[in-house]
Chains A and B, each alone.
Chain A
Amino acid sequence: MSKSNFTRRGLLKTSAAAGGALAAPTFFSNAMADGHAGYLNAPQGSSVTLGFNVPQSGPYADEGADELRAYELAVEHLNGGGDGGMMNTFSSKALTGNGILGKKVEYVTGDTQTKSDAARASAKSMIEKDGAIMITGGSSSGVAVAVQALCQEAGIIFMAGLTHSNDTTGKDKKANGFRHFFNSYMSGAALAPILAANYGTDRNAYHLTADYNWGYTTEEAVRTSTEALGWNTVAAVKTPLTQTDFSSYIAPVLQSGADVLVLNHYGGNMVNSLTNAVQFGLRAKEVNGKNFEIIVPLYSRLMAKGAGANVKGIFGSTNWHWSLQDEGSKAFVKSFGTKYGFPPSQAAHTCYVQTLLYADAAERAGTFNPCGIDEALADFQFDGMGNGPTLYRAEDHQCFKDVLVVKGKENPANEFDLLEIVEVTPAAQVTYDASIFGGELGTCNPGA
């Protein structure tokens, strides 16, 4: 007869200790396993895994689906399939269609759900379970900032998808994070001269701002740049992110004496607030002897589609548009359009470019080590990717390139032809001092 020493209390204690050990970050143990390579998740076989973290459910699922299409196209091109797309027009010729550093590119996907905690969980799973060497994607600044911080901590490169807040490469910038997409500051700087030219310098603006990180930085950017023109800001009202009917926010706009309404909204918020504003007949009104105008600082074609005819004649900015006629854009639109039957969105474009830029940096660095990638991308100048000559600035890992000012098209030829390019604002006009938004880039973390 043997006597068991297990008691209920003892079992609980043991379970708690075991659970605690299991719950502890496994980055260190993984790093130890790959320690000989000097960085986390160093590819061991003939393939390398990229992690595409995009919203596959939730309100931005359509944008996420387009990002995923672009990633699949990029992987196909990197592995030598298809027509090569922008690899043929990219100024760097390090990519040869033989994967990355001779390793076949494979990928795993995660669903961010456009929620920071879900996005972090899916990124963590791709890093720990699937051995992803790089995480990319997303359609929200809140998610981008959260995942970027996780990647910095883990020692993985993060190539941001669609994120427009100044904070991503401003106060929340990280050495392991890189953004190709433009930001709120650039939108404000690009829009202001066009607004002055079209609407004059004596205007009273009323801002409706989505009550979160991106909304604040966009409002601040547009306010600063329009006030510098001589515009007066009558009021700036924060609207809850969950708001669907904006009528009670829009009704008082005319009473305030404002003659311009700035909608610092994105996604469903933008579609609904713009639809409500047009319903209220604001655009047909005359205030202070001037036509009432509406501005949407950040446009997305996918969102413009939701707002239908309401976008006609409304100014905004965008990172890229399929109707651009440079060789890079044409090559990308041809590849994407042939494969999927419709033109790509700006989210698809930035994700495709980010994947190629990462692959190219690895080739030039001769390693997947995040510190090598960091060095290869720092102050890297390139062209042929659809936005003209572009600089990946070393100080904040932000790309500086031309910004498009667009206007809702009056007579669209088809369902994709919603925006027309009014001006291509040169990169120099939207460049700013890296220190103005604060934050510390820190040093690269290879995770080992």
Chain B
Amino acid sequence: MDAIILQILNGLDKGSAYALIALGLTLIFGTLGVVNFAHGALFMIGAFCAVTLQRILALSHEVAVPGETDFLGNPLMRNVPYVYDWFGEAAGQTIIEWSVPLALLFAIPIMIAVGVIMERGLIKHFYKRPHADQILVTFGLAIVMAELIKYWFGANPIPAPAPPAFTGSFDFGAALGMDPNTIIYPYWRLVYFGFAAVVIAAVFAFLQFTTFGMVVRAGMADRETVGLLGIDIDKRFTIMFAIAACVAGVAGVMYAPINSPNYHMGMDFLVLSFVVVVVGGMGSLPGAVLAGFVLGILESFASMREVIEFMPGINQVVIYLAAIIILLTRPRGLLGRKGMMED
């Protein structure tokens, strides 16, 4: 029982990341009709926004440490961050330690800008082209983005730790009256799950309860008619692209402490997120979220030692296996609508 609870918990944070990326993918596909293979790269850029802000906050000047030498025998220089000078050492250190949550504020304008530039500069020229062309150009863009990040930040992962207040793990076992240490779960992953839930709820509320959202939903259903009503749907769709980029970006920022960001993390998530979108049903936002969590939890179960011993390698194929079964039984995915990608 405890092992099952543990793996459900484990699946939640992975599922949160899949759901957030898949949500953005579905928004773009549903509104613009574009299959965006660069969406994983947007997630990666979000994570590197966290790294960048961390580096900006850590910008420092050198102060010689009296009586000590460095590895070449020169006087040892200690780096003192400018934020220490401005806010005092204790406050400065707290600011640096909280750089990941602070990076959300930093990432939002950057991701909006990246989204708008991507959509206006490249994607819009491919609206009327076949899906294969869209996939090729966005996949190429993803490679370019990953290589640029590698050029600036190197190939090694870069740590972006969570604030000290969220290090360590919560003992669910003890809280539920079981033996201590049977079910532990890191605080930051709980934060990530909560954060994902808030973002997903906000996106749904935005689409459901605002006039803008109503127009976008109408545009998703019948773009031509909305255009005939005199609404500049293109402009709204550009904004939707920026919002989708933003969702992927903030998902990446908050994911940075879970796994140290590296340049290929976008690709690692991209393929699985596409499977999530297809399983959830092309164009279905609730489907994307549902499939994200279901597949995340399934992947977690398949990684259990008992399962691997019984079926070696199952952890690497379980998502695709589930996708095949679901698509055979429900060809439009879990919550897919008729008519999507069926023309």
Contacts and interface: CB of A to CB of B under 8 A. Distances in A.
B156 A280 contact: no
A69 to B, nearest CB: 14
Interface in B257-288: 257-260, 262, 264-265, 268
Contact of A334 (B14, B72, B159, B316): B72
B189 A337 contact: no
A268 B262 contact: yes
Interface string A214-254: 00000000000000000000010110101011011101101
A248 B71 contact: no
Interface in A390-433: 413-414, 416
Contact of B264 (A59, A249, A278, A306): A59
A241 B252 CA distance: 22
B71 A251 contact: no
Interface string B293-317: 0000001100111001000000110
B168 A284 contact: yes
- Determine chain A's interface SS by DSSP, over half rule: helix
Contacts of B303: 248-249
Interface in B172-199: 181-182, 184-186, 188-189
B161 interface: yes
A337 B299 CA distance: 46
Contacts of A333: 71-72
Given A248-B299, A279-B189, A279-B258, A237 B308 contact: yes
Interface stretch (B5-13, B114-122, B129-137, B215-223): B5-13
Counting contact residues on chain B (CB < 8 A from A), the size range is 35 or more
A219 to B, nearest CB: 15
Interface in B35-78: 68, 70-72, 76, 78
Contact of A279 (B71, B158, B186): B186
Nearest to A309: B161
B167 interface: yes
B156 A255 contact: no
Interface string B208-233: 00000000000000000000000000
Interface in B1-46: 2-3, 6-7, 9-11, 13-14
A338 interface: yes
Contacts of A271: 156-157, 159, 260
Contact of B159 (A254, A302, A306, A338): A306
Contacts of A416: 71
A442 interface: no
B316 A303 contact: no
A281 B259 contact: no
A275 B259 contact: yes
A38 interface: no
Contact of A244 (B168, B169, B265): B265
Contacts of A118: none
Nearest to B312: A238
Nearest to B169: A281
B155 A281 contact: no
Given A248-B303, A281-B186, A240 B315 contact: yes
Contacts of B161: 308-309
Contacts of B264: 59
A252 B3 contact: yes
Given A235-B305, A275-B260, A62 B7 contact: no
Given A59-B262, A248-B300, A333-B72, A275 B189 contact: no
Contact of B72 (A248, A251, A280, A338): A338
A413 B72 CA distance: 14
A437 to B, nearest CB: 25
A237 B312 CA distance: 11
Contacts of A255: 2-3, 6, 181-182
29 contacts: A59-B264, A61-B150, A61-B154, A62-B156, A235-B305, A242-B316, A248-B300, A248-B315, A249-B303, A251-B184, A252-B3, A252-B6, A254-B181, A255-B181, A272-B259, A275-B258, A280-B185, A281-B168, A281-B169, A306-B157, A306-B158, A306-B159, A306-B260, A307-B159, A307-B260, A308-B159, A308-B260, A309-B159, A337-B71
Given A251-B10, A323-B71, 11 more contacts: A59-B262, A247-B13, A248-B10, A255-B3, A268-B157, A272-B259, A280-B186, A308-B159, A333-B72, A343-B71, A413-B68
Interface of B: 2-3, 6-7, 9-11, 13-14, 68, 70-72, 76, 78-79, 150, 154-159, 161-162, 167-169, 181-182, 184-186, 188-189, 257-260, 262, 264-265, 268, 299-300, 303-305, 308, 315-316
